[in-house]
Amino acid sequence: MDGKPQPKMAAFCVREFTQGGKREWTSVYSAVPYLTPELMRRIARYAGVHIYRDTNYILFADRHFVAVHTGAKPATDTLRLPGKTPVYDVFARKVVAPMAESIRLDVPAYSTALYYLGDPVAFEKAVGK
């Protein structure tokens, strides 16, 4: 090969590996260095990764916290949680939902919201409130 694209070369491909008719694992290959957030989200969803939001805005999450940061537009979509849990707004110091699988966001433009996922009483006790 001379480094030029060839008819059978792929820039992006997905290959499923099966054993006994059952999908064991999937390989995703991309020669393209920058994939769009939408495509990355689709790949993650296909892999079974939990998707909190269907937007390209900043979101940080771990086992107990979800932080949503907005830009010029407010966040008014739905935040899907990884399971049914109490949701506590850390900055407002209030329970958003006593038990929920999702919540409706109402985060103003150029703001950050921080949610604790778990027992709000235990959280307040841990932080000394």
Q: What is the DSSP string of 77-120?
A: SEEEEEEEEEEEETTTTEEEEEEEEEEE--B-TT-EEEEEES-H
pLDDT at 2: 66
> Averaged in consecutive runs of 10 residues, what is the pLDDT profile of the chain (129 residues)?
68 88 88 88 90 93 96 96 97 96 97 96 85
pLDDT at 85: 97
pTM of the model as a whole: 0.80
The pair of structure tokens assigned to 85 is 């849990």
Domain with CATH 2.60.40.1180 in the chain: 59-127
pLDDT at 3: 66
CATH class of 59-127: mainly beta
pLDDT at 32: 83
pLDDT at 48: 86
